[in-house]
Structure 1
């Protein structure tokens, strides 16, 4: 069997706020709570398990999307009022990038994690 990522735990100050924020941006639904986790399943069936925590350390999650989805998602990012930027060091505030023959944007979630949406993989 090939090794595949199944899930990642995303610590948040308020798991409901963070999970619903990202679900809204990506156009997804939050799954019912499972134990201490509030799951968000993405298209390749990887689950982001949001968990309440007082110990939140910065994480980065990147989501590969189609061009049309990017436009929809980017509109929701702007409408949310979230800070967005072109580069992982949080430079290029209010801009997107055009790396690897596609488009990409980083944005902050309510817990301070850097989320990314891109249309072309880095490889």
Structure 2
């Protein structure tokens, strides 16, 4: 069997707030939560687990491939809620999206400060 991505733990300062952010932005689904984890699922049953670690949180980057319609809904949500977003990972092009790699992309920070990237075309 080839390797497949199954789950990741996303460090959060407030696991419920982070889970809500991803639930809405990614149109994820609630999953049973246990112990220190608040859980969501996305495509192919990938589990996103949010936990409040007892250590300082360092910024991570999470990129999600979405279709054009999902991108439109997510981008409308960012604009409606006045959530800062950028066209670039260096956060120089505030309030813009990009059209690199033949699709569209946008960068935003989640409630814990992690970089979240939405793209409509894979890089490869």
Shorter-normalised TM range: over 0.9
1:3-44 CA distance string (max 9 Å, x none) = 111111100000000011111122223323222111121112
Distance 1:5 1:102 in 2: 23
Matches within 5 A, 1:27-42: 27-42=27-42
Change (3 A) 1:30 1:81: farther
| TM-score where L is the length of structure 2 | 0.92
Task: Give every structure 1 segment of 4 or more consecutive aligned residues whose post-TM-superposition deviation is greater than 3 Å.
Answer: none
Distance 2:92 2:34 in 1: 37
| SS across alignment from 2:113 | coil
2:59 alignment partner in structure 1: 58
How many residues align structurally?
123
RMSD: 1.2
Distance 2:8 2:81 in 1: 24
Is the Cα contact below 8 Å between 1:82 and 1:109 reproduced in 2? no
1:44-72 CA distance string (max 9 Å, x none) = 22111100124211011111111111101
